[in-house]
Amino acid sequence: MSVFTPIPLGRPIPDTPHAVSCSLPTMRAVRGYEEKDWAVTQHLKSGYPRFVIHPFVQRLAEHLVQSHGFAGRTLWLTSSGRMAAALAAHLGAGNSDLFAADGINGVSHPASADLAACAKTFLQNLGGFLSSREAEDHLVRLGLVPAPWREETYAGDAAAEVRRHLRRALPAAGDAGLVLANCGMNAIWTAFQAVAALQAARGRTVWIQLGWLYLDTIAILKKYTAPPSDYVHLRNVFDLTALADLFAAHGPRIAGIVAEVPSNPLIQTPDLPALATLCHRHGARLLVDPSLASVFNVDVLPHADVVISSLTKYTASEGDLTAGLCAVNPAGPDAPELSRRIAAAVEPLYARDLARLAWQIGRTEAVLAQIHAGTAQVAAFLAAHPAVKEVYWALHPVAAANYRRLARAPDATGGMITFTLRQAGGLEAFYDRLRLPKGPSFGMRTTLICPFMYLAHYDLVTTPAGLAELAASKLDPDLLRLCVGTEPAADIIAALAEALA
């Protein structure tokens, strides 16, 4: 008997109020989720926090709209007053008003689909939404919820506990160089802004995107590199010759490179030491995001100026909170100033989220050991299956040597596997038959699979121009992203075999 049972549409994964994933069990549900189809969205109890406004946050905002006479206006609740001010500035003078009462911050604006879309995208890109646990605490204070969700948390100094475990993976950073954020995207935004400001003062404004990155990282680079012509996308992460040519042509103006190690979703690891050498030789800075594998699996700080990572993945392995990390390399030329600027600008973790993370983080290495035990077996099964066209994972032959240079142990691969099917148009039938948990996010104890390009880049998979953009980066729109959890590998393989038959 399989350990996997069907999870109904919209059910949180895990089934708790603060879950970061939700079940999208069919391709129809995936499309409905992306198209905001009421037949699908009415079943969603929650979703990934930067894309789906949490029910607690929605309820608190609705209460404040009523109690403060905001009828006919939209209220966005933010992680801080500083984030609210940034959102108001983004929406433009005269379009919004700051809100602050009883420790709650936000921005209100007249009901407008355009303003709402602009505000939501801004908060999504920068990681600026109010935490679900903070919203829950306000609801309890207001008498709208009887009590906070009961869960285990760390009783002592949670920040010290989290840093104690992170120092095992990043010993060189020291406490001053380890900065916690409310989510991975806020860590990326804060580090990018800090480095960009320092480099712009030196006349360096060109930013290089190495390979295909996570959608909000791409958005930050495209939107906030000024002028837009200073944004450069180098598609092939392995093409050091092309990168050297860029430095030869624009070296004095290049601010930095942003690279995922390995990349999402093709799990490609560039030659990181070579990248670092080029950057250091030309005065550029290297920002490295190892979220796909975890800082506990890859040793990237010696080669980076700043490591930026989501702790939502693997470290918060229950899948019930978001968190991020900036780790500054103390040997970097701007290290003290970067540490100061990042610490001053980051959106901090809410106290209850921090206490929950501190309770979970001590199990990271044990959870990863379980994940690694199954990942190689699942990858081997998929690679050998006649219905599978291509399989990507940390030890894919093209990138294995680069990855092994960084891996902390031979089997320290992380749980991510992406793959495509041979049969054209076979995605829907396979996905709908598959009995694995299906939803966004990864790095949980729960195995999760999703049609990644549909969830991350629906605008690209549904337009000719978008499909051409994906093809230019050798991305199949039907790519499936599977992250192996702690369940027995035999059960994961059995579920895949059943759906592939």
Residue 162 lies in a domain: no
- pLDDT tens-digit map of 177-231: 899 999 999 999 999 999 999 999 999 999 999 999 999 999 999 999 988 899 9
My answer on whether 355 and 370 are in the same domain is no
- Could you read off the pLDDT of 469-486 as tens digits, one per residue? 999 999 999 999 999 999
For residue 106, which of 65, 148, 51, 56 has the smallest C-alpha distance? 65
Instruction: Tell whether 167 is covered by a domain.
Output: no
What is d(CA 138, CA 228) in angstroms, rounded to the nearest whole number?
41
- For 416-446, what is each residue's pLDDT tens digit? 999 999 998 899 999 999 999 999 999 999 9
Clarify whether residues 188 and 236 are in a common domain.
yes
Q: For each of the chain's 501 residues, which pLDDT tens digit applies?
A: 467 999 999 999 999 999 999 999 999 999 999 999 999 999 998 889 889 999 999 999 999 999 999 999 999 999 999 999 999 999 998 999 999 999 999 999 999 999 999 999 999 999 999 999 999 999 999 999 999 999 999 999 999 999 999 999 999 887 778 999 999 999 999 999 999 999 999 999 999 999 999 999 999 999 999 888 999 999 999 999 999 999 999 989 999 999 999 999 999 999 999 999 999 999 999 999 999 999 999 999 999 999 999 999 999 999 999 999 999 999 999 999 999 999 999 999 999 999 999 999 999 999 999 999 999 999 999 999 999 999 999 999 999 999 999 999 999 999 999 999 999 889 999 999 999 999 999 999 999 999 999 999 999 999 999 999 999 999 999 999 999 999 999 999 999 999 999
Q: Are 438 and 431 a contacting pair, CB within 8 Å? A: yes
Same domain, 374 and 320: no
Pair 301, 356 in one domain: yes
Q: Are residues 188 and 79 in the same domain?
A: no
- In this structure, the answer to whether residues 426 and 356 fall within a common structural domain is no
**22 pairs with which residues across the strands?**
12
In the DSSP assignment, the letter for residue 225 is S
Considering 115, 150, 185, which residue would you say is the last residue of a domain?
A: 150
Q: Are residues 127 and 198 in the same domain?
A: no
Record the tokens describing residue 61, joined without a space.
């905002």
Q: Which pLDDT does position 173 carry in this prediction?
A: 86
Average pLDDT over the chain, rounded to an integer? 96
Which pLDDT score, from 0 to 100, does residue 1 have? 45
Q: Does a cis peptide bond (omega within 30 degrees of 0) precede residue 49?
A: no
Residues 311 and 432 in one domain: no
Q: Is 407 helix (H, G, I), strand (E, B) or coil?
A: strand
C-alpha dihedral sign at 425, 428, 434, 439: positive
Domain boundary among 308, 335, 361: 361
Say whether both 280 and 382 belong to one domain: no
To which H or E segment does residue 405 belong?
Answer: helix 400-406
Same domain, 196 and 332: yes
Structural contact between residues 441 and 51, judged by C-beta atoms closer than 8 angstroms: no
First to last CA, the chain: 18
Are 418 and 495 in the same domain?
A: yes
pLDDT computed for residue 93 by the predictor: 86
Into how many domains does the chain fold?
3
| Cβ atoms < 10 Å from Cβ of 447 | 25
* Of the residues 361, 394, 425, the one at which a domain ends: 361
Alpha carbon 455 to its chain centroid, in Å, reads 13
